[in-house]
Structure 1
Amino acid sequence: MAEQKKEISITVELDENNVPEKIDWNATDKEGEGIANCKAMLLSMWDPKKQDTLRLDLWTKEMTKEEMKIFYHQTLITMAETFENATEEHGMAEDMRDFISYFADEMEILKQ
């Protein structure tokens, strides 16, 4: 059986102060063709030898505070779902969702 491989590429254009101005990405199984643009990204990778998380958090100058609040809210929702699926820790996932609801209220993300 042939080995499957997927590829993700990220290109970051920086200004003279090394602040991201543009973030483009592509993936072999991304919906739609061609390179996509984004304003922010959070990338976390687990290093099993060091038992440590490697992180890359970037956002462009154009990312507004309101967009960042929504981005984090949606990321937290995904993290709770992933945590529950990976660990079957349903109670802790619900606790995370309680915090996410609090976060949304405090950041006034979900308009009534």
Structure 2
Amino acid sequence: MKRAEIKLIVDLDDNNVPEKITWESTDAANKDAVPVKSFMLALWDHNYKNTMRIDLWTKDMPVNEMKKFFFETLQTMGDSFLRATGETNIVEDLRDYCAHFAEKMEITK
């Protein structure tokens, strides 16, 4: 069995607000830690039948980038949901909502 490890490193200020976030993976071509401004991690707990989440962003994450991050996350969640379930109709609805979201948030593709 192959195993890969994904590591997230969060540097906090004195008030526990993220100042710096980096991630690295044992399976990545580049073994250096990669700096990021935000991440969303969702895990399904099979025993309790619920989702555990961690959403973090650095205090210097620009709002316009956060809007785009949410837009792209919603888009890719639709892609993942389609691959996992084959539910094309609801994914089309989600894509329609994403277009609406992008328009309301004034995000250009």
TM over 0.5, shorter chain: yes
Could you tell me which of 39, 42, 54 is aligned with 1:56?
A: 54
Q: Distance in 1 between matches of 2:96 and 2:28?
A: 32
2:11 alignment counterpart? 13
Per-residue CA shift, 1:48-76, capped at 9, x if unaligned? 00001000000001101001001011101
2:42 alignment counterpart? 44
1:92 alignment counterpart? 90
**Superposition deviation, residue 29 in structure 1:** 2.1
Aligned-partner SS, 1:79: helix
Aligned-partner SS, 1:13: strand
Aligned length: 109
Unpaired runs of at least 5, structure 2? none
Unpaired runs of at least 5, structure 1? none
Aligned-partner SS, 2:100: helix
1:108 alignment counterpart? 106
The alignment yields a C-alpha RMSD, in angstroms, of 1.0
Supply the AA of the counterpart residue of 1:68: M
Q: Percent identity?
A: 45
